[in-house]
Amino acid sequence: MSVKNKSPWITINGKNVADSQLSIEYLKKELNIDANSHLSPREKGIATSVRIMMEEHMYFVGGAEAYVHHGGKHIFTHYPPGLLPLPKFMIKILLATLMKREINKMFYYQGIGRHTHEEQQRIGLKELQAVNDVLGDNKFLMGDKPCDEDAAVFGLLSWPLCCNTDDNFYNIELKKFPKLMAYFERIKDAYWKDWKDRRYPSKE
Ligand SMILES: N[C@@H](CCC(=O)N[C@@H](CS)C(=O)NCC(=O)O)C(=O)O
């Protein structure tokens, strides 16, 4: 875990940078690259808004679905054994007791936990619809060329699609958005050549 007790982080030339967005910004500055230089201020604003909706809202809606409504069962099917430094039976006990209490508390204070399950799903679906509509017929979020925010949106789509069980609401619903699915596959094929080797469980 990073110094912020979160994942991900990067270590570059001995320096640790926590948080995906702060890492991107650090790399851009250090390497003097800008994948967003082709965007207008308005496009940058839209891309940032979509990213923050996904990172700071969809993240919690999806998290509530997986951890509250599915009891965190994806941990046992989609996380490599050994990722969590405890035996399976202990994780199961924790998920049903201490962790459950902490998880519920987190969602309650964040706000999403105060809605009914049906309301949460309605909110989540609207967010997927919004990304889908911003994408439209574009290859990438803001047009033919990828921008920073495509990396974040890809990450946030990969979680329900590849790290959750097949009966997860967002895993099922995302597959009803053909443009979003094609976008996900496009980024995967272009930037994650070793996807199959790195994925757990290893499948397409
Ligand atoms: N917006 C942050 C999100 C980081 C985040 O929430 N990571 C999760 C894993 S996906 C985590 O480390 N959770 C552990 C915790 O909250 O204690 C980023 O993109 O870096």
* pLDDT at residue 204 in the model: 62
User: Phi and psi at residue 38, in whole multiples of 5°?
Assistant: -85, -5
**Residue 20 CB less than 6 A away from ligand 1:** yes
The whole-angstrom separation of Cα 160 and Cα 174 is 8
**Residue 8 CB less than 6 A away from ligand 1:** yes
Q: Which two tokens stand for residue 35?
A: 């994948």
Domains of the chain: 1-33 (no CATH), 34-198 (1.20.1050.10)
* pLDDT at residue 60 in the model: 98
Question: Helices (H), strands (E): how many in the chain?
Answer: 11, 2
* pLDDT at residue 98 in the model: 94
**Residue 148 CB less than 6 A away from ligand 1:** no
Residue-wise DSSP of 90-144: HHHHHHHTHHHHHHHHHHHHHSGGGS-HHHHHHHHHHHHHHHHHHHTT-SBTTBS
* pLDDT at residue 148 in the model: 97
Instruction: Tell me whether the omega of the peptide bond preceding residue 146 falls within 30 degrees of 0, making it cis.
Output: no
- Tens-digit pLDDT string for the chain (204 aa): 899 999 999 999 999 999 999 999 999 999 999 999 999 999 999 999 999 999 999 999 999 999 999 999 999 999 988 888 899 999 999 999 999 999 999 999 999 999 999 999 999 999 999 999 999 999 999 999 999 999 999 999 999 999 999 999 999 999 999 999 999 999 999 999 999 988 888 776
Q: Quick one: which H or E segment has residue 12?
A: strand 9-12
Pocket residue to mutate for ligand 1, from 3, 5, 7, 164, most atoms within 8 A of Cβ? 7
* pLDDT at residue 198 in the model: 86
